Amino acid sequence: MTLILGFEDYLPQAEKLALCLSIPIKQVNLHQFPDGETKITLPEKLPKNVIICRSLNQPNDKLIELIITASAARDQGVEHITLVAPYLCYMRQDKAFNSGEAISQKIIGKLLSEYFDSVITIDPHLHRIKSLTEAIPNKAAITLHASHAISTFLQQKFTQPIIIGPDEESKQWVKAIAAPHQWRFTIATKQRYSDTEVDVSFSESDLNTNTKLNLAGQDIIIVDDIASTGKTLEQAVIQIKQQNPKSISVIVTHAFFVDSAIKQLNSLGVNNIWSSDSIPHPSNAFSIIDTVATQLKIGEAS
């Protein structure tokens, strides 16, 4: 038997996963002591296989809690622990850009590989490496993609949208979302000067047909993996608006939208702001949990 262990901050998603897999779920209880430490209480009588489902946004406390949970589960005799972390933290810093900078991707990846037998995540932010196993030296570090869920969601909303990615990196997602429906798509080039200063400029060519792309009167969808400050999306919206589209929507996998990001996008007249439930956020509009469940079922069958 396999049991899902969930945490309060990601419980609806963990419950959905349990439902999809028809397996039980129990909650790990956290108690914050006044000094900032956490008491972690696991359910008793854990089975041999456990899936811990918790997304790793705002990761610093969560990582400690997950390590304690995994260790306590092993102490109870659990033999196989899968971590389902739809958002995986610390994947961006994959090299030291300046001397003295820690390469957090490698450090956190190694830590996770020590405590978990397998790790499943959605579109981790990997820049210079091709495979998640390079970051998490684990036989079973699995990257899943949100593109199918995004594509299916958008199909219910639009007939012929134009899909736009704000930078070169987004081409993989934009293409995967547009291709099943023959939607037109393009990507922009992005220059980032600081955390909050970004320039975005567009190619006016449809990368599906290599013809000129006219955005006037069209439904435009800007797709990205992460919205953090929202500045990338904001600059993309400003550029696109100049071409008088019918509507502009933004859709992301991992929704941080820190500070006034949502307010800024709304003030620019963005029609829809949507995200997956990889990170709980008011913009959550579709789920990536089915994608995780499918992978887990495949793993079970093989």
Query: Which residues would be at the binding site for ligand R5P (CB under 6 A)?
Result: 166-167, 169, 198, 224-232
Please say which residue, 57 or 228, places its beta carbon nearer to ligand R5P: 228
Q: Which two tokens stand for residue 136?
A: 């998490």
Distance of closest approach, residue 203 Cβ to ligand R5P, in angstroms: 17
Please say which residue, 138 or 186, places its beta carbon nearer to ligand R5P: 186
Question: Which one, of 207, 201, 204, lies nearest residue 178 by Cα?
Answer: 207
| Beta pairing class for 198-202 and 184-192 | antiparallel
Please say which residue, 6 or 166, places its beta carbon nearer to ligand R5P: 166
Please say which residue, 64 or 258, places its beta carbon nearer to ligand R5P: 258
Please say which residue, 16 or 254, places its beta carbon nearer to ligand R5P: 254
Q: Give the CA distances from residue 113 to residues 55, 118, 137, 295, in Å, rounded to whole numbers and listed in that order.
A: 16, 8, 6, 19
Which amino acid type is present at position 183? W
User: How many other C-beta atoms are found inside a 10 Å radius of the C-beta of residue 197?
Assistant: 11
Residues 6+ apart with CB under 8 A from 234: 198, 261, 264, 265, 268
**Secondary element (H or E) of residue 174:** helix 171-178
Distance of closest approach, residue 229 Cβ to ligand R5P, in angstroms: 3
Please say which residue, 5 or 164, places its beta carbon nearer to ligand R5P: 164
Please say which residue, 6 or 165, places its beta carbon nearer to ligand R5P: 165
| Beta pairing class for 2-6 and 49-53 | parallel
| 173 close to 163: Cβ distance less than 8 angstroms | no
Distance of closest approach, residue 298 Cβ to ligand R5P, in angstroms: 27
Distance of closest approach, residue 186 Cβ to ligand R5P, in angstroms: 16
Distance of closest approach, residue 257 Cβ to ligand R5P, in angstroms: 8
Distance of closest approach, residue 165 Cβ to ligand R5P, in angstroms: 9
DSSP 35: T
Q: What distance, in Å, lies between the first and last C-alpha atoms of the chain?
A: 16
Q: Which two tokens stand for residue 29?
A: 């209880």
Distance of alpha carbon 93 from alpha carbon 197, whole angstroms: 19
Please say which residue, 102 or 258, places its beta carbon nearer to ligand R5P: 258
Maximum CA extent, the chain = 63
Distance of closest approach, residue 196 Cβ to ligand R5P, in angstroms: 7
Distance of closest approach, residue 236 Cβ to ligand R5P, in angstroms: 9
Distance of alpha carbon 183 from alpha carbon 164, whole angstroms: 11
Phi, psi dihedral angles at 175 (to 5 degrees): -65, -45
